[in-house]
Amino acid sequence: MPEVAAPVPGTTTIAVRGSSPYDVVVGEGLGDRVLPMLGADVRRVAVLFPDGLRALAEPVVAALEGAGLRVLELPLPEGEDAKTATVAVAAWDALGEAGFTRSDAVVTVGGGATTDMGGFIAATWLRGVPVVHVPTTLLGMVDAAVGGKTGMNTAAGKNLVGSFHEPAGVVCDLATLRTLPRDELVSGLGEVVKCGFIADPEILRLVESDPEGAADPASPVLAELVRRSVQVKVDVVVGDLRETAGFAGAGGHPGREALNYGHTMAHAIERAEGYTMRHGEAVAIGMVFVAELARRAGRLDDATVDRHAATLAAVGLPTGYDGADPATLQAAMKVDKKSRGDQLRFVVLDALATPRILAGPAEADLLAADAAMRGGAR
């Protein structure tokens, strides 16, 4: 196998150090980075990609085949439709028919749903084979591809079946962002802004000072936002890979659970909307909801609460929702992964970049936050 290529100008390598170290490479012109990450023993590689992104997967397939590897192409349904048990079984059957062993590997090319599902398939085939992620969306780069969480959806909710399976590497080629529809790119900014609120206020400053640059795939502002957001996730994940730190209680940093800021309501909305709403849009709404919940609970100051809607709106993200009724959303939130028994638990902010857990909020506060969320619908 070839040695690791020399750094490309403007390329950043973020080291993820832990029990299974790997690198996240961010830059442009990174087509040669996948092969070295797979390891010297791999002979067969399954490349998973949404059927509509075959053109983006073809260069990866060609590079692997050019290095003498046997490639199994496994196109997936688009978006959340890929994250079903039926798709998983079909992929496992294909890997079995092709004779994949533990020394073989998986490569994913696509957005967050592809990395979630491709990672899950890699994690469960023979109890785990290596996987390299090549995220092609902003959401995939700053969230789904990094950290080792994999999962699929069920009728009960989103990502309720899954495992932790760290990748062998992640290649974020920023050039692929230029292929995205603007709405899809803007949606990914929901996760970027989240990183600013929970850990890195410089992200918020960059977005607020140049919202157009933040949503421009060719802008150095967006490149810096990707690097900073990946670093936030890496820093949190290294300290709490399996999301256990948050069990300690509300007194300290909730560990990896902090990355779920806004997600409890977001997942409830996604389920209520039949997974037709973009994830980043739902997260934006969920952050507005939980900021208001923190204000009502006496945890967060007015200026920081109001900053949520202002920053999100500046880049074109939604700041309210008036769809499913409060009872429906609360029922969905009770099967969220962060819930304990019948008690709702939310990641909130006690101050900017100070995430904490709010367990069992008062019903009156939940309803007031829900009303504020509906008031922000547009």
**Which residues contribute to the annotated binding site for Zn(2+)?**
191, 263, 279
**DSSP-derived pairing of the beta strands 149-154 and 157-164:** antiparallel
Give residues with Cβ within 8 angstroms of 133, minimum separation 6: 107, 108, 115, 118, 119, 140, 145, 167, 169, 170, 171
Query: Which residues are part of a known binding site for NAD(+)?
Result: 78-83, 112-116, 136-137, 149, 158, 176-179
* 319 backbone dihedrals φ, ψ, rounded to 5°: -125, 10
Question: Which SS3 state, helix, strand or coil, does residue 282 take?
Answer: helix
Query: Cα–Cα distance between 232 and 325 in angstroms, integer?
Result: 34
Query: Cα–Cα distance between 119 and 133 in angstroms, integer?
Result: 8
Structure tokens at 123: 């994690």
Query: Which residues are part of a known binding site?
Result: 78-83, 112-116, 136-137, 149, 158, 176-179, 191, 263, 279
Neighbouring CB atoms inside 10 A of 207's CB total 23
Structure tokens at 287: 């952050």
Give the DSSP letter of residue 137. Answer: S
